[in-house]
Structures are given as C-alpha cells and as structure tokens.
C-alpha cells in the first residue's frame, strides 16, 4: 500500500502519522468534488483520463493532483465497479481495483511495483512490467534506496559522519539526478506500454521538492 505523505490527500490519514496541515488542505480541496454525484464523478474521471493519455506526468502536476482527488473519491464510492461509464479508450482494467490502469512510478518500484493511482495498492508487480524494464527499474530502485536511507540514519550513524549536513545535501542532489534520470529514460519507456504514466517527482525525506527536479 502506497501511503507516503505526498502533498495530495490520500483518502485517509495513516494511523501512525498525525494529520498534517497539508492533509487538511487537501481534504478541504476534496470537499468540492464530493458534491459530484456518482455519474458526474465517473464522467469527469473518464474525460480527464482521456486528457492524460499519451503523456508522462509529474505527480505534482495540478491536473494529476485534481485527478488523484477524484480517483480516490471514485475508489471510495466504487465508481469503477459500478461500470457507470466505459473504460476510456486506450486504458485497460487494473487488476487491483478494476479502475482504468494509470500507473505511478515511485522509488519503491523494486519491491512494490507500479502503484495504482486509484487504490494506492500495487497495480503492476515489477516482474509483470513488459520488456527489459523490470531489470532496469529494479536497478534504479536499488541504487536509489541507500541514498534515500541517509535521511533515516539514526543518531549514532549520523555521529559517525564527519559532516552529516554535507552528506544529507549530497544525497539530496543525487536523488534529484535519480529522479531526472527516471523521468527522461525509464518513464518514457513505460509509456510505450501504458496509455499514461505518472512519476513521483519528489523525495520528502531528503527535502527534494518537485521544483528541484530539473528536466
């Protein structure tokens, strides 16, 4: 389950974490969509998927943010199970929740596969991704993980470093490069197999923001 705190309302607040000010804001955003009846919501989702088709998208893109709010509301209301509208052209059904398959690439792709934008579960297991992408994605994820871990070093590990701040900054800069590499190489290759692909363009633990990832 993809429950990372991103500046997007994830439908529920993970129990272990306090609701942040950003969560509250996204909940407020989500309220305006909750006025949509089921059919209106289904049509809006279907039409927006049509507009997302054929391109790669940053997770931080406002259209993706709006879609994610609607998608998670649609998931809560089981809109796609009700089949109020047909799957938009070009989209296949996701096996996780039967919504149209819109995969999200995250740094955890190695162990977790591609994430479903609708239910936050694994939409495509890594080994089920076509072509030579499983190996390339696993390799990228394995290179990324130890760099990300710098943000989670405990006190003792930090003390062993001569200059932890510099090490943290260096890790953040490497991650900016990892994300840019994925966006320019791996994500377009994924787009050959899926109608649209979203990629996570931030690393909140290393304080890498979307605007730090330059393409």
92-100: long-range pairs with CB below 8 Å, 24+? 94/118, 94/119, 94/123, 95/123, 96/121, 96/122, 96/123, 97/121, 99/71, 99/74, 99/75, 100/46, 100/49
Q: Which is nearer to Zn ion, 73 or 97 (CB)?
A: 97
Q: Which is nearer to Zn ion, 42 or 172 (CB)?
A: 42
Q: Which is nearer to Zn ion, 68 or 118 (CB)?
A: 118
Query: What does the per-residue mask of binding to Zn ion show for 148-187, with x meaning CB under 5 A?
Result: ----------------------------------------
- Greatest distance between any 2 Cα atoms in the chain: 60
Q: Which is nearer to Zn ion, 6 or 116 (CB)?
A: 116
Nearest distance from C-beta of residue 94 to Zn ion, angstroms: 5
Nearest distance from C-beta of residue 75 to Zn ion, angstroms: 7
Rounded-to-integer distance, Cα 11 and Cα 75, Å:
9
Q: Which is nearer to Zn ion, 118 or 148 (CB)?
A: 118
Total residues binding Zn ion (CB under 5 A): 6
Binding to Zn ion in span 83-142, by CB under 5 A: 94, 96-97, 116, 118-119
Binding to Zn ion in span 8-47, by CB under 5 A: none
Nearest distance from C-beta of residue 13 to Zn ion, angstroms: 20
Nearest distance from C-beta of residue 156 to Zn ion, angstroms: 40
Q: Which is nearer to Zn ion, 84 or 102 (CB)?
A: 102
Nearest distance from C-beta of residue 87 to Zn ion, angstroms: 13
Nearest distance from C-beta of residue 212 to Zn ion, angstroms: 29
Which residues would be at the binding site for Zn ion (CB under 5 A)?
94, 96-97, 116, 118-119
């Amino acid at each position: 389950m993809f429950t990372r705190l991103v500046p997007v309302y994830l439908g529920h607040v993970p129990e272990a974490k306090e609701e942040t000010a950003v969560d509250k804001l996204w909940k407020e955003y989500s309220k305006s969509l909750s006025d949509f009846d089921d059919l209106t919501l289904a049509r809006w989702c279907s039409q927006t998927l049509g507009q997302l088709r054929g391109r790669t998208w940053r997770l931080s893109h406002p259209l993706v943010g709006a879609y994610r709010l609607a998608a998670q509301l649609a998931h809560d209301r089981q809109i796609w199970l009700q089949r109020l509208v047909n799957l938009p052209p070009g989209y296949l059904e996701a096996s996780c929740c039967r919504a149209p398959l819109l995969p999200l690439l995250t740094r955890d792709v190695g162990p977790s596969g591609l994430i479903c934008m609708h239910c936050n579960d694994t939409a495509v297991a890594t080994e089920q991704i076509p072509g030579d992408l499983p190996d390339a994605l696993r390799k990228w994820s394995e290179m990324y993980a130890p760099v990300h871990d710098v943000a989670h070093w405990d006190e003792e590990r930090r003390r062993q470093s001569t200059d932890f701040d510099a090490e943290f900054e260096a890790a953040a800069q490497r991650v900016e490069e990892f994300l840019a590499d994925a966006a320019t190489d791996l994500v377009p290759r994924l787009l050959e197999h899926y109608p649209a692909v979203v990629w996570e363009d931030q690393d909140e633990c290393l304080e890498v923001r979307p605007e730090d990832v330059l393409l």
